[in-house]
A = this chain, B = another copy of it.
């Protein structure tokens, strides 16, 4: 069916070795021979099978990518970055998604390992306590985590604790004092934990009382009554919500709206992820931005570094820390309103500002200068 190197050799009248050389080291064969071989290749529309090649050389030029889902643009953006570099460097990508399911994570790793991927780029729910990763450390292919925020393993992410801290400080700078954190059903993830820690830190530092993260069902059409009660009832209701991701923020905004709550007049909202989509909302979603594409690219580069050094010598590169932290951004948006009736807790005891955006910008400047 598909022509093999043998067919080419027969057609050209040379041995398969010569054909192989003509393909892989053209300068070592007679130009005339080369021409004939090339003609044969063209005539037969031959393309070398990577299978035989890989079998021989132990190099597959294959990288596995394991993501929780592609429904969240965060991961799609990462993948986009990875794909760009992979294509440019002649690697192929094998993709599997897990929906955060442990069984599927295991299955994906098994499958990709069977395929002899040279490396793995992945995002898991909780990196620290992940037994599969220990396995990989021992004898699996090299890997780099994306988004998982841990110093214990090779990873690329933003500083989730710091980012959440910055974001919540911004809310506080806008005069908010009753700030609640909302988390998706994946409250157990390392990121969610760290984001909550940042929230707690910012609150305490401002002399405010942090609360446990409120879990919200992501996929529900409406906000659960119990959640809505938390958000809207009584005088002690929060004036601002820190949502652990943008998709969640959008769902919450819709839920509030249906409950006749206006954003940001009745409730300020801060998301996390900095989805491009958020800027198209009205009001534009305020969010802590994570450079998803860059995270993908950085993960790729880390992985390549690891692979190259593993190939060169057995000693892994130890002069760089395992985890790489990329800078986050604070995207001010129109979903945050300043609370006027209480004095804002901002260090620069300067002038009051007219618009929420002005205040936000100053708040950020203050944070950045920190």
Kindly provide the distance from the CB of A271 to the nearest chain B CB, expressed in whole angstroms.
12
The contact sample of 5 A-B pairs, CB cut-off 8 A, is A50-B115, A50-B116, A51-B60, A73-B73, A87-B97
Within 22-76 of A, Cβ neighbours of B (below 8 Å) are at 45, 47-52, 54-55, 60, 69-71, 73, 76
Q: A257 to B283: give the CA distance in the assembly, Å.
A: 11
Closest chain-B Cβ to A37's Cβ sits at a distance in Å of: 18
User: What's the minimum C-beta distance from A333 to chain B, rounded to whole angstroms?
Assistant: 13
- Give a binary string over A103-136; 1 marks a CB under 8 Å from any B CB, 0 the rest: 0100100110111100000000000000000000
Top 9 A-B pairs, shortest CB-CB distance: A250-B280, A70-B76, A76-B76, A95-B95, A47-B114, A70-B80, A51-B55, A83-B97, A93-B95
Among A241-294, those with CB < 8 Å from B are 250-251, 253-254, 257, 276-277, 279-282
**Shortest CB distance A44–B (Å):** 11
Question: Which of B80, B94, B116, B280 contacts A94 (CB under 8 A)?
Answer: B94
Chain B positions within 8 Å of A277 at CB level: 250, 277
- A-side residues, CB < 8 A to B, are 2, 45, 47-52, 54-55, 60, 69-71, 73, 76-77, 79-80, 83, 87, 92-97, 104, 107, 110-111, 113-116, 139, 250-251, 253-254, 257, 276-277, 279-282
Known: A49-B116, A253-B282; 15 extra A-B contacts, CB below 8 A, are: A47-B113, A52-B55, A70-B70, A70-B76, A71-B76, A71-B276, A76-B76, A83-B97, A87-B97, A94-B94, A95-B95, A254-B279, A254-B282, A277-B277, A282-B282
Partner of A77, one of B71, B92, B93: B71
In the assembled complex, how far is the CB of residue A100 from the closest CB belonging to chain B, in whole angstroms? 14
- Do the beta carbons of B92 and A87 come within 8 Å of each other? no
A71 CA / B70 CA spacing, docked (Å): 10
Complex CA distance for A72 and B358, rounded to whole angstroms: 32
Minimum Cβ distance to chain B for residue A269 (Å): 12
**Pairwise interchain contact A45-B95, C-beta atoms closer than 8 A:** no
A66 vs chain B, min Cβ distance (A): 11
**Cβ–Cβ < 8 Å partners of A54 in chain B:** 51
Q: Do B281 and A257 have beta carbons less than 8 Å apart?
A: no
A65–B50 Cα gap in the complex (Å)?
18
Among the interface residues A52, A70, A257, A279, which one has the most CB atoms of the partner chain B within 10 A? A70
Q: A282-B257, A282-B281 are in contact. Are A97 and B116 (CB under 8 A)?
A: no
Residue from A93, A94, A251, A280 with most neighbouring chain B CB atoms (10 Å): A280
**How far, in whole Å, are A134 and B137 apart by their CA atoms in the complex?**
46
Whether the pair A114, B76 counts as a contact (CB closer than 8 A) is no
